[in-house]
Chains A and B, each alone.
Chain A
Amino acid sequence: QQPVQSPQAVILREGEDAVINCSSSKALYSVHWYRQKHGEAPVFLMILLKGGEQKGHEKISASFNEKKQQSSLYLTASQLSYSGTYFCGTAQGGSEKLVFGKGTKLTVNP
């Protein structure tokens, strides 16, 4: 079951913040966040496994809510290099089978 991502697209100026959400109707085993730049393969950012977990990666961090049905990706003080499409991937029921959302296209302008 494909997770739902929102928003579909966001345009920022350098230095602005953004939040990307990923939700599922069922409790998740794990949430994975990836970024894909145009013409390139998706690249792993981080994985969340536990309800209530928060993780950071430079100025990009993510949370996983207590019910393990929603995750958010936080991009603070955005840089031009943050531009790309962000995907959340989710797994259910202890399985490693990873299903992705439709993606959020982030554009950071000077």
Chain B
Amino acid sequence: DVKVTQSSRYLVKRTGEKVFLECVQDMDHENMFWYRQDPGLGLRLIYFSYDVKMKEKGDIPEGYSVSREKKERFSLILESASTNQTSMYLCASSLGPSSRGGFFGQGTRLTVV
């Protein structure tokens, strides 16, 4: 079974802190994604990576950056956390081309105080 593992289920950080959310997948997938999920807004794409060191901005990249130094690991970085970044963050991976579906991690509930 494919596993997408996010490093933390719950995180509490202070405003202005630099925050790292880590995601690891074990199936050699090319594509990896970071989404945030807020009530009534669905899943909004923050960043997408289709290969090592390759990335594309999603719909809401402001205040975030990403790093993909190894194929299996995709990190989301909040440069200076703010309270409006309090949310559920979901990582996903998929095998391209689009002949198969994707797999999501269990999510990280981030609270910025």
Contact = CB atoms under 8 A, between A and B. Distances in A.
Interface of A: 2, 5, 29-30, 32, 34, 40-47, 49, 87, 89, 91, 95-103
A5 B94 CA distance: 23
A101 B42 contact: yes
Contacts of B31: 96
Interface string B35-50: 1000011111100101
A99 B59 contact: yes
B12 to A, nearest CB: 19
B59 A97 contact: no
B94 A98 contact: yes
A30 B100 CA distance: 11
B41 A29 contact: no
Contacts of B56: 95, 97
A37 to B, nearest CB: 12
B96 interface: yes
A88 B31 CA distance: 18
Contacts of A5: 42
B84 interface: no
